[in-house]
Amino acid sequence: MEERKVLYSAIQPTNNLTIGNLIGAIKNWTNLQNDYDCFFAIANMHAITVRQVPADLRQKTLSMLALYLACGIDPEKCTMYVQSHVPAHAELCWVLNSFTYVGEMERMTQFKDKSARHAENINMGLMDYPVLMAADILLYQTDVVPVGLDQRQHVEIARDIAQRFNNIYTPTFKIPEALYMKVGAKINDLLDPSKKMSKSAENPNGSIFLSDDRDTIIRKFKRAVTDSGSEVKFDPENKAGVSNLLTIYSVFTGKTIAEAEADFAGKGYGDFKLAVGEAVADKLAPIQKEQEKLLADKSYLEGVLRSGAERAAHTANKTLAKVYKKIGFYQL
Ligand code: ATP
Ligand code: LTN
């Protein structure tokens, strides 16, 4: 049997996830799990680059796993695990640090954004974030990395670091490719459609959280920014708000953008926003219910994480051993 290609992705267990995370990342994963050998991590080591409340981080780690499962990721097919349970991530990160330039890290958009937002805590971890992410990806000899568009620069730098290492020694790492959704690779804030919807946005009314109840979802969509026109038409340049809502509607109903536009021909923005809210609420309800059910069974969740960490470590340690050998670490 031909070996399957490897797919790797992760999400930080910080805050509550938004429909941006669901559409840009998790939905893509569920579609691809049958075609690839998949690894899905819960990136708690990335999470601490911004101050976290320990009890929350612990709780969000488990609820993130429950969400992966509730969204339909199958633990029989995919390896799901917590990043800190596989020490090879920190170990490879340390090696790759010596193959990464400070200047490259200073230029990273996310580093600049987060430094501005957390000016009181611009720590080394924040700066090193992309190197740890490169270690995540490269440990598994990953072919594809399905992420939202905001992660493009990080996948690029992982490729650069891998290539640099391969050139200095001999081919060691597979060079990964980022993979984006055709529709929904960037979902924008409902109140400021020029910004991406973020789980740590200042105003929570611009984001739809996966934990929001039906009334909250509908209320937030009702208040979403549109424009002064009245036509429901996909035109990201001139109608950023409406286009963002159309994208969300299309993803949540499985309709194409053109079909979505047709649904609202001759209708006003009020009807349109209500319909988008209802479509999202309808789809999120069963996921929320399933997640809650799973969270009640802690021993099952821990079992998934235990076997996930074991499988992940097995693959990761093979790559790490190769790296240690090439760079000249004495082996016993
Ligand atoms: P934060 O806002 O706290 O920095 P985030 O919302 O960007 O976090 P991450 O954990 O950084 O969430 O990202 C998880 C995944 O979700 C990544 O693949 C990212 O590209 C994707 N993603 C995040 N926001 C969006 C969005 N608005 N549209 C599409 N994909 C997104
Ligand atoms: N930085 C990513 C989360 C992440 C990730 C990864 C994504 C950590 N390690 C490896 C893909 C591959 C984010 O989405 N903020």
For this structure, is 114 an active site residue?
yes
H/E element holding 58? helix 54-70
**pLDDT tens-digit profile of 141-193?**
999 999 888 899 999 999 999 999 999 999 999 999 999 887 778 999 999 99
Alpha carbons 21 and 232: distance in angstroms, whole number = 25
Q: What's the average model confidence in pLDDT over 12-38?
A: 92
Pocket test of ligand 1: the residue of 150, 154, 155, 211 to mutate, having most ligand atoms within 8 Å of its CB, is: 150
Give the SS3 label for residue 229.
coil
For this structure, is 60 an active site residue?
no
Q: How confident is the model at residue 8 (pLDDT cuts 50, 70, 90)?
A: very high
How is residue 96 written in tokens? Answer: 């790759």
Q: What is the pLDDT of residue 19?
A: 96
**pLDDT tens-digit profile of 87-145?**
999 999 999 999 999 999 999 999 999 999 999 999 999 999 999 999 999 999 999 99
Question: Phi and psi for 78 in degrees, rounded to 5?
Answer: -120, 150
Res. 329: pLDDT tops 80: yes
Tally: H helices and E strands in the chain: 14, 5
How is residue 240 written in tokens? Answer: 């950023």
Domain ranges, ordered by start, for the chain: 6-180+298-327, 204-292
Q: Determine the length of the chain.
A: 332
Identify the nearest ligand to the CA of 113 by its number: 1
Whether 106 and 127 have beta carbons less than 8 Å apart is answered as yes
C-alpha distances in Å from residue 117, one per residue of 11, 139, 202: 20, 31, 10
Amino acid code (one letter) for 41: A
Q: Which CATH number fits domain 6-180+298-327: 3.30.70.1350, 3.20.20.70, 3.40.50.1000, 3.40.50.620?
A: 3.40.50.620
For this structure, is 199 an active site residue?
yes
Q: How confident is the model at residue 25 (pLDDT cuts 50, 70, 90)?
A: confident
* H-helix segments, 98-201: 102-106, 109-117, 124-139, 152-168
Q: What's the average model confidence in pLDDT over 21-39?
A: 92
Choose between 14 and 175: higher pLDDT.
175
Whether 66 and 35 have beta carbons less than 8 Å apart is answered as no
**pLDDT tens-digit profile of 220-243?**
999 999 988 899 999 999 999 999
Amino acid code (one letter) for 91: E
Which of 11-15, 127-131, 215-219, 313-317 is the least confident region? Answer: 11-15
Identify the nearest ligand to the CA of 135 by its number: 2
Identify the nearest ligand to the CA of 208 by its number: 1
Domain 204-292 matching CATH 1.10.240.10: the answer reads yes
The torsion defined by the Cα of 188, 192, 194 and 195, in degrees rounded to 10, comes to: -60
C-alpha distances in Å from residue 3, one per residue of 6, 37, 51, 213: 9, 9, 41, 43
Contacts of 134 (CB under 8 A, 6+ apart): 93, 96, 100, 154, 157, 158, 161, 162
Using the mean position of ligand 1's atoms as its centre, give its distance from the Cα of residue 151 in Å: 8
Q: Which among 131, 205, 189 is positioned nearest to 164, based on CA atoms?
A: 131
0.75 cut: is pTM over it? Answer: yes
Strands 78-82 and 177-179: unpaired
Q: Which among 179, 186, 184 is positioned nearest to 145, based on CA atoms?
A: 179
Amino acid code (one letter) for 132: L
How is residue 59 written in tokens? Answer: 């709780």
Q: What is the pLDDT of residue 15?
A: 79
Using the mean position of ligand 1's atoms as its centre, give its distance from the Cα of residue 43 in Å: 12
How is residue 211 written in tokens? Answer: 């934990």
Alpha carbons 179 and 32: distance in angstroms, whole number = 11
Res. 1: pLDDT tops 70: no
Q: CB under 6 Å to ligand 2: residues?
A: 8-12, 43, 46, 133, 136-137, 145, 147, 151, 154
Q: For ligand 2, what atom is nearest to the CA of residue 43? A: 8
Residue with tokens 């929320």: 288
**pLDDT tens-digit profile of 44-80?**
999 999 999 999 999 999 999 999 999 999 999 999 9
Whether 88 and 44 have beta carbons less than 8 Å apart is answered as no
Res. 207: pLDDT tops 90: yes
Share of the chain above pLDDT 90, in %: 90
Catalytic residue chosen out of the listed positions 114, 220, 239, 273: 114
